[in-house]
Structure 1
């Protein structure tokens, strides 16, 4: 049977505060992308056959907040990680929620989100409980490994900044000696927080021009702030997330059966970032 594909933004919904934050963020992103929003509730087979009554309420609330947005509701039975990863094949983005920083047991602590990351080749955005839709004009932050500057990762970050009409801050390790915290598939990234988004003095020239040239040509209106600063990557990214609309990191794709490789930098960012985090798989 031929699979009918309608590109959309999909938000996983389970009635938790984290999933409601994810749905709110996904609605705004779907509007900016001009795509339908699918609110997806996955019911585990051994649980009650009833649907989630809050799903319809969430859909109604988002329709009222975003007139003209095509909001769809889908409820299916199955293992959440497997179903989410399967249906993500039709999604431009899969958006999942998590508990607030410091609280144990949320999807970013393991379980569902980690299993989805291991199964899907689509970008996954993780939204923290209480984050809401966030401020779209705040900077987009890209963590870049100069040893492996992947075009899909860079393109995702450029496009996100272009949609928001905001600055793209690219932070990386440059030629600093690598330590244990930097040797991760997400690259070594380092930055320091700042109180405003305006121009600032950079301590060192950053990304080689050929790495960004094609995206600067495709999206010339995106202001790029390149930074190469010393410090612990994970701590700096977490600090920088406080004033960001989105943090973008990469994940190296691995052969089927090996799962997603989460290094220490990504692990910390996913658990502690206050801004939504986009995890973009790449070669």
Structure 2
């Protein structure tokens, strides 16, 4: 294992995801959400499908018709739709802060639904981390924005995707899983567009922004896969949190966003508890 390279790949992946989010948000002022989801979904499916075919992998597999795969597709649709709607509705920095709860939610879901053993320290970390999310969202208080619920929906959907992925047989191609996940999101985008209407032909600038979002997302996907393969997972995983750093920088310079103190405090709590959870899992070998 080469942990230094693994950390580098993970940081590159998080930069790629943050850039992709930025480009998507730039398009949402001119294009309806359903159209952006459809373009991004079918574009990603085409790229991953071609990638799989180039590697000689099957594009259709019997695993497509199993419960875990179907649940993953449904979770991918929910997560992607909620994420892009949130991008259109709230600040990028706020969305990115809420999404940082995903590792905690994965640990919680693994304990509740997959029978994973979680010790009391990690339970406490999850509880405190979720309090951090409440500080960011502030339900019932003056600073509450109901659109942050889309971000929470995205976090839950992405958690379902990550948990169901664990139940998919290891011999099923990762590229195949990704291609069908994007395709399902594309179909959902078309359905949403049918209800909302407003489809428009992207001009040159919008087309370049959409291409940029797809390209950075593909680079990020490749980089996160490389990180997991060349480095120890407990070592490289904490560097996922660099995504928030990149998102805050991009949100400031591109959109002029300035997160308030409570958002930063909540994000710090979520990240700290997430890192603690990962550390405890590493110490206990994932058994406590």
The question of a shared fold, defined as TM-score above 0.5 by the shorter chain, is answered with no
TM-score, normalised relative to structure 2: 0.23
TM-score, normalised relative to structure 1: 0.24
For CA contacts below 8 A with separation 6 or more, give which structure has more relative contact order. Answer: 2
Q: Which has the higher strand share?
A: 1
Q: Which has the higher helix share?
A: 2
